[in-house]
Amino acid sequence: MPVSTHVDRTAPAGRQRRSNAVGVFFSFKAWKHIAAGIGMLGFDTVEQDDIDKDRTVRMSPTVSVRNGSRISIGPGAEIGQGCHLWAGDTVGRIDIGSHALLAPNVFVTSSNYRFDDGEGPVMHQGREERDVWIGDNTWIGTGVVVVAGARIGHGAIIAAGAVVAGDIPDFAVAAGIPARVVRMRRDSRDAPGSGERD
């Protein structure tokens, strides 16, 4: 039912408002906008409550979460707008250290599709799950992708747009696709707690 743009100047104001409200309620265009708003937030944001975290963790309401019960985030961490934290369906975990900073639009997954069989769709070849570990006091730049099996050391910085597929040592600055160490912030042997991983 289209929304009436005609204003009846002879009708009482209350009746005219009710008429417009009924028109909006049955308007396809209005419901399309409401559905788009719900889709923007996504139903996958409700799994944020399943994540093992304390109240000092700051997380944008737009963070997309899959299998939140297999994700843990340390105290004081901040997870930016539009990030995706997708743990595996069966065993793949994501562990993020304390005071880690994930900038907007970071994608972290502990599950990858297999693709060795050249026949048929990739999505029908199953998945391989491996844990992802991100250390304390790390900074993961905007648009970084962290894939299954990646380990990012304490105090490491990952440059915007990088793809992390392996190990990044403590206090390294890494960039590129795949992410490679471009310099060290300090000698990781001098770091308190270096080499300690959960």
78-106: pLDDT as tens digits: 999 999 999 988 899 999 999 999 999 99
Higher pLDDT, 192 or 149: 149
pLDDT at position 99 is 97
* Mean pLDDT of the region 29-39: 63
pTM assigned to the model: 0.73
Please give the CATH topology (third level) of the domain spanning 44-185.
UDP N-Acetylglucosamine Acyltransferase; domain 1 (2.160.10)
Domain boundaries, the chain: 8-41, 44-185
Highest mean pLDDT among 64-68, 120-124, 186-190: 64-68
23's enclosing H/E stretch is helix 13-25
Give yes or no for residue 69 having a pLDDT over 80: yes
Distance of CA 164 to the CA centre of its chain: 15
Which of 61-65, 135-139, 141-145, 187-191 has the weakest average pLDDT? 187-191
d(CA 138, CA 152): 8
Lowest mean pLDDT among 3-17, 20-34, 79-93: 3-17
Q: Tell me, what's the pLDDT at 171?
A: 97
Residue 45 contacts residue 67 (beta carbons within 8 Å): no
- Residue 157's pLDDT is 98
Q: For 48-52, 71-75, 115-119, 182-186, which range has the lowest pLDDT when averaged over its residues? A: 115-119
- Residue 160 vs residues 81, 94, 99, 176: alpha-carbon distances, Å: 15, 20, 18, 9
Give the per-residue pLDDT at 174. 98
